[in-house]
Structure 1
Amino acid sequence: MKKGYKVTDVRREKKIGIAAESLQELIEKSCKKFGFNVSCAECRLYVAEDGTLVDDDEYLKTLPPQTLFILLQKSEKMVTDFDYYYNMIRSTKKDYIDTGRAAKEFLDTNLRDKFKLFQRYINAADNAKTLLSERSQDPDWFAGLEPSEKTKEQSMSKRIKERMRGYYYKTKTALQSSELYVHSKNGGSKKYIDQFLVDLRKLLEGSKYNEGYFNRKYEKEQRMCDETGLFECGGLWNNNRCVYENEHIINPYRSREERILFQTWNLDHRIELSRSIIPTILQALNNIYIGKLYCTDCRSNTNYGNIETERYYLQIFTRENLKLVHIVCHYKGKHDAASDLYTICQKCLVKNRTKFGPNIARPHGGRLISSYTRSSLSW
């Protein structure tokens, strides 16, 4: 099914609307409309807002209709919307730059006091609209959102699903740009990584991208907020609670302003995704590839085995390793917490398959065993 997108070029002088159902079709039509006298293979497509390269149909399908893309030829450099318009203003509007610097300084200093000020404005919002759900009941709340978003709960579920997709594609990009993947001999280790990503994606789809985390109508055990939509900060990654009690709270269901401010709240990985989880996944897959691994079930060394995908799924996508935090409590330095090598020997693999059946996503308490082993892939 075709979706409508907007595309511009590096000069951003015009935007064109294009309907396409694949990345190749979108690039081909864009090249033709812009009159690029080059091969489509020499062109690249980026999301204008944040500069993300769109390199496959799978990622394209996750983006909403009317997303704006930048089409670049081989020698052209990607510049995000923010940088483009900042540079344009900088060259002609010095007063705007001075204002922007003042705003940046405002946010860079005394964050605790600044957010107290924001909180006072938030608390003055109309509480009577908090429990309203439908777009027709509180149209101001939906300003700037897609027409397809009919309820606040649907919109908030969409927000968490976008974050989960972001974690998946961050993991995918890191694994597929690794030395293990790029320099795979005869495609052996490459197959392991690709299969791991397939299994990881199945788990994420099976959980519906944890859409209940931000949805106040889900069961208490699944959502991160109370029944009214109120979220509380979980505190620094290594603390059990937030030290700013009754200050770091927010209800994005109450007003449009609070919904927008909620975007500054982070889902913080206690065990960090880039610094620990992804490197450990690569090490685990490499151990399987070279036939030198440790079984976390029977605690024996073995030559043949598998990776326990669900363990890494829990660390990347679930509340087992994620906590929702206010921007002040989001510590960006290195966390003193590490992932582990989760691999399983062939004997325990067969035992678990006998116990659980075919390799599918298990309910809580069970475990997914990926559908590949060192002996089942050839290189």
Structure 2
Amino acid sequence: MHKTKPKLFKIRSANNAKKYGVAVVSLKELIKKGCHLLKVSSIGVQICLYEDGTVVTEDYFLNLPDNTELVLLSEGESWNDGFVYEINQVLGWDRHTELLINAARTLLSDEHSPKRRKILGDLLRNLKDSSEVESRAEDKDWFKGIDVRFKTKSAYMKYNCESRIRGYLKEVDGQTKVISNAKTKTEYKKVVEMLAEKLKAVRNNGTYFDRSEKDLHKLCTEEGWFSCQGAFDVNECPFLHSINPYGNRESRILFSTWNLDHVIEKKRTVIPTLVEALQKKKSSEINLDYFFKLLFTRENLKLVHIVCHKKGAHELHCDPRKIYKRVKK
């Protein structure tokens, strides 16, 4: 008589991570052995998939592959998602302990799903966090590759933002070379000089990345967390992207891929509009504050994760009512 070959499973309870290997030929035998191993009553017991909580029936049992991970649920217990359970376990511990980091590494080493590996990788990176310290002496690894003149994280992050903003001014200045009309070029140079002075007065808006600044002037929390503000045409990030470049060196480097994106585009719209305006009027008649805000301030800049940065044309225009100074009657 043909004997049914046993199936191999890994089984655990809903409140204990320890797993047991069992070899059984039926769901009934699985429940019996599971209850014995886990020392629970068989009354009202159910078996479900560890991965997503699907309840195992007799028919479903027949199609399960070997080494499927299962959870034995006592009467009244429920199970939604194994990965959610592991994350809850991880987040329930002190995030600054080696135990927590090792747990995340263990989960990552056993995980085969690309999506979940990505989530665990991000989690592990953020667990290795030293955002509470500020000086070079306290976190030498964070400062690797950074000029020795920077003694604190905030000082470097401020410089980082200033560099980006100064880069925008350089692009504005670069337009001078392609203006053919001599008169327009002269007026344009004057505007660039005035914008440079105005930018210098506000310290190149480096405060946007400086966590030591007041909330009004920065884009991050006191701890240094930045949140993606979403693409230019949405009110918020649908993916809830966030990063703390103050936490560790890897996060600091990754933050360089985030963009301070111009809602009304700098190259396609703002600069060409400025040039066109100077073809009609003198630099003294241009609304300098309006162009300054569009080019260098949060009024027209959004901090966005690279995934949310849309590179296509925004097709937004400058407000014609604000291009020139208002003439007092």
Q: TM-score, normalised by structure 2?
A: 0.62
Corresponding residue of 1:333: 312
Count of equivalent residues: 214
Q: How does 1:113-124 map to 2 (within 5 A)?
A: 116=119, 118-124=121-127
The match for 2:161 is 160
Alignment-derived partner of residue 214 in structure 1: 209
Amino acid aligned to 1:263: S
Deviation per CA, 1:34-56, whole angstroms, max 9, x where unpaired? Answer: xxxxxxxxxxxxxxxxxxxxxxx
SS at 1:241 equivalent:
coil
Aligned-residue offset at 1:118: 4.5
Task: Tell me the residue number matched to 1:261.
Answer: 254
Which position in structure 2 is the counterpart of 1:204?
Answer: 199
Give the CA deviation at 1:340.
3.2
2-side partners of 1:336 and 1:114: how far apart? 38
Work out whether 1:280 is the aligned partner of 2:273.
yes
Please state whether the residue corresponding to 2:302 is helix, strand or coil: strand
TM-score (norm 1): 0.54
Contact 1:135 1:150 in 2 (8 A): yes
Question: Following TM superposition, by how much is the alpha carbon of 1:277 offset from its aligned partner in structure 2, in angstroms?
Answer: 0.3
Does residue 315 (structure 1) correspond to residue 294 (structure 2)? The answer is yes
**For 2:115 and 2:168, how far apart are their aligned partners in 1?**
28
Give how far 1:272 is off. 0.4
Who wins on radius of gyration, i.e. which is larger? 2
1-side partners of 2:190 and 2:284: how far apart? 14
Q: Which digits, 9 at most, give the CA deviation of each residue in 1:189-229, with x for residues without a partner?
A: 22201110111001100110001100001000110000000
**Match for 2:309: what amino acid?**
H
How far apart, CA to CA, are the structure 2 residues paired with 1:270 and 1:117? 33
Does the 8 A contact of 1:203 with 1:310 survive in 2? no
Q: Is the 8 A contact 1:141 1:256 kept in 2?
A: yes
**1:177 corresponds to which residue?**
177
CA distance in 1, matches of 2:119, 2:293: 34
| Structure-2 separation of matches of 1:141 and 1:305 | 46
Write the distance in 2 (CA, Å) between the matches of 1:191 and 1:202: 17
| Number of the residue aligned with 1:44 | none
**Match for 2:254: what amino acid?**
L
Tell me if structure 1 keeps the 8 A contact 2:244–2:252. Answer: yes
Percent identity of equivalent pairs: 36
Long gaps (5+) in structure 2: 1-113
Q: Is the 1:277–1:315 Cα contact (8 Å) retained in structure 2?
A: yes
Q: Give the superposition deviation at 1:232.
A: 0.4
Distance 1:338 1:224, change over 3 A: same
The equivalent of 1:244 in structure 2 is 239
User: In the aligned structure 1, how far is the partner of 2:222 from the partner of 2:325?
Assistant: 41
Q: Deviations over 1:275-318 (max 9, x none)?
A: 110110011111115xxxxxxxxxxxxxx960011100000110
Gaps of 5+ in 1: 1-110, 290-303, 352-379
The aligned amino acid for 1:172 is D
Alignment-mate amino acid for residue 260 of structure 1? I
Report 1:2-81 matches (<5 A). none
Change (3 A) 1:124 1:305: closer
SS in 1 for 2:281: helix
Q: Secondary structure at the match of 1:192?
A: helix
Residue matched to 1:28: none
Which SS does the other structure have where 1:212 is aligned? helix
Distance 2:227 2:164 in 1: 18
With over 3 angstroms needed to count, the CA separation of the structure-2 counterparts of 1:113 and 1:312, relative to structure 1, is farther
The CA deviation at 1:112 is: 8.3
1:284–1:214 Cα change, 3 Å: same
Which residue of structure 1 aligns with residue 3 of structure 2?
A: none
Q: How large is the Cα RMSD of the aligned pairs?
A: 2.1
